[in-house]
Amino acid sequence: MCRVIAIANQKGGVAKTTTAVNLGIGLAKMGKKVLLVDDDPQGSMTICLGYREPDNLELTIVDIIEKIVNEEDIPEDYAILHHSENVDVLPSNIALSAAEVSLVNVMSRELVLRDYVEKIKHKYDYVIIDCMPSLGVMTVNALACADSVLIPVQAAFLPVKGLQALLKTIYTVKRRLNAKLEIEGILLTMVDKRTNYAKEIIEEVNEVYGKTLRVLPTEIPLSIRATETSAMSKSIYDYDPRGKVASAYTELTNIVSQNA
């Protein structure tokens, strides 16, 4: 049975896309069939996976949305790209911004992505959705079709403070649109254990949220190698397989797979 996981945080720069890519490819390395969905008009996931000019792609998630809204049939593998690290990719580009605005006048606009996922998820073990850094219509769409949401949080003051707004949105979606939605956990990212500041932030997250939410035991360390993967269009497993970040994402992948 397919699991749909949204990777969400309205704060940018928290390693959300890096987490989505490496979790998805990590699951693929375990033999799972994985679809990575870029739900961000910046096309960050698309670019990270090597599609350097997303605005020039012939088909993207926008074309899927248009077909769902117009109640048109979607051909097999429509808009899907096949990546060399054994994952399928539904790409995105800046046109998604306009599509998000146009959805305002669409009936059941929060459920458009769910309609698509329901049609294709029989082909996959996991669908991983990389949400945009906002709490707009497309992020709500991702939460409305997800089984769970993984929340990457940089070990810093502002990203932690922004958690309340995200959690409020998640609980609203769960109450009104998707009763099965659960929180996979809070994933601390870009952690520099050499500093007391990072240690204090980790303690605060566990103290404030740990009583009601799962703070994952795996922490993604701060590393220039992880940043370089985007430029190299590779996962951390391919670029730096023996590094500490690859080890951390392997641990995360094992945790997520055990929750299935």
- Across 33-37, 154-158, 173-177, least confident range: 154-158
For each of the domains in the chain, give its residue range(s) and CATH number, in order of start: 3-258 (3.40.50.300)
Question: What number is the average pLDDT over the span 147-172?
Answer: 86
Q: How confident is the model at residue 159 (pLDDT cuts 50, 70, 90)?
A: low
User: Residue 246: which residues within 8 A CB-CB, separation 6 or more?
Assistant: 236, 237, 240
Using the predicted structure, report yes or no on whether residue 199 has a pLDDT greater than 90: no
Whole-prediction pTM = 0.95
Stated length of the chain: 260
Burial of 58 (0-12, 13-18, 19+ CB in 10 A): exposed
pLDDT in tens, 218-232: 999 998 888 888 778
pLDDT, tens digit, 9 for 90 and up, residues 185-196: 999 999 988 888
198 — pLDDT class (breaks 50, 70, 90): confident
Average pLDDT over residues 72-83: 96
The average pLDDT across 59-77 equals 96
- Distance between CA atoms of residues 18 and 109, nearest Å: 28
Indicate whether 11 pLDDT > 90. no
- Of the candidates 88, 92, 90, 78, the one whose C-alpha atom is nearest the C-alpha of residue 25 is 88
- 40 DSSP β-pair partners: none
pLDDT greater than 70 at residue 150: yes
Regarding predicted confidence, which is higher, 171 or 155? 171
